Amino acid sequence: MISRNRRLRTNDSIRGLVRETNLTTNDLVLPMFVMEGNNKKEAISSMPGVFRQSLDLTVQTVKENYDLGIKAVNLYMKVSDNLKDNTGKEAWNPNGLMQNTIKAIKDAVPGVVVMPDVALDPYSMYGHDGIIKNGKIDNDSTVEALVKMGISHAEAGADILAPSDMMDGRVLAMREGLEENGFTDVGILSYAAKYASAFYGPFRSALDSAPVDVQEIPADKKTYQMDFHNSREAIDEALRDVEEGADIIMIKPGMPYLDIVSKIRELITQPIAVYQVSGEYAMLKAAAQNGWLDNDKVLLESLTCIKRAGADMIFTYAAPEVAKLLNR
């Protein structure tokens, strides 16, 4: 034989020379759950190693992870029930938990990229991403609320807004709102192809934000999140968000949707983010804890596969332990 592909697999040094995809700490974004209180930390049972933390401990964790090389965080708030209503107005409270968390992180670690989640579900009494009117999620009034929310995040010091709501037209409205208020440097990472997935279960438990039946609306998000049977629709969503001014495009979930990542990678030049969601993380952790999989190896492999498919950055709850593995 003249051609033997195995020649370039002979040893680790050769394999490293010809390696096409490399995972580094620069690729990692850490999602974090913040709760009210001081010096409080609660384990999330369905997500081993992940916690809800009060603001002070959140800042401490950001500092520690920044030293590991994790330069970006994605923030979610666990909101008290007494602050929830149908409008989600607590979401743009200038002294709200999200706004205070953004300020505290930027004061303590100015170099970290803060990406707050922009969606109403943690603030909704119904657990939905939108305002309910006449028996359905009202798109346009929700977009108005999201713009208020996004501007309040920018005022607090956010670097990149991360709207995860899947309302139509919200990227353009948010971009216009930011420009009109002088926040020309604040970016938008749009959840362009966010599927109505069963892999989000542990996340909703972490924030107590699972949707409920209300009026004619079922306890799911299928009228605004994407149908997992579709791929062409994801391309349309991504291209529309790029036209509306999105700086980064998000595809969510991760590994079950790598075909979507690959297809969109071929069509846009903007950076692509992929979210290894709570259900993916929980499955890997459960298998590792039972001795069925090697925890370190499957974490590195799963994230490398996401990057190989076309991701420029990966949101993962495993970011701290992956950073330690990469640094080692």
- What does the domain layout of the chain look like in residue ranges? 36-327
Alpha helices in 244-277 (DSSP H): 258-265
0.85 cut: is pTM over it?
A: yes
Measured CA angle at 59 (ends 37, 42), to 5 deg: 45
| Annotation: binding site for Mg(2+) | 237
Taking the CB of residue 230, how many other CB atoms lie within 10 A of it? 14
Cα-atom radius of gyration of the chain, to the nearest Å? 20
Q: Which homologous superfamily does the CATH classification assign to the domain defined by 36-327?
A: Aldolase class I (3.20.20.70)
> Tens-digit pLDDT profile for the chain (328 aa)?
899 999 999 999 999 999 999 999 999 999 999 999 999 999 999 999 999 999 999 999 999 999 999 999 999 999 999 999 999 999 999 999 999 999 999 999 999 999 999 999 999 999 899 999 988 899 999 999 999 999 999 999 999 999 999 999 999 999 999 999 999 999 999 999 999 999 998 887 777 767 777 777 777 899 999 999 999 999 999 999 999 999 999 999 999 999 999 999 999 999 999 999 999 999 999 999 999 999 999 999 999 999 999 999 999 999 999 999 999 8
Positions marked catalytic: 194, 252
In contact, 115 and 159? CB cutoff 8 Å:
yes
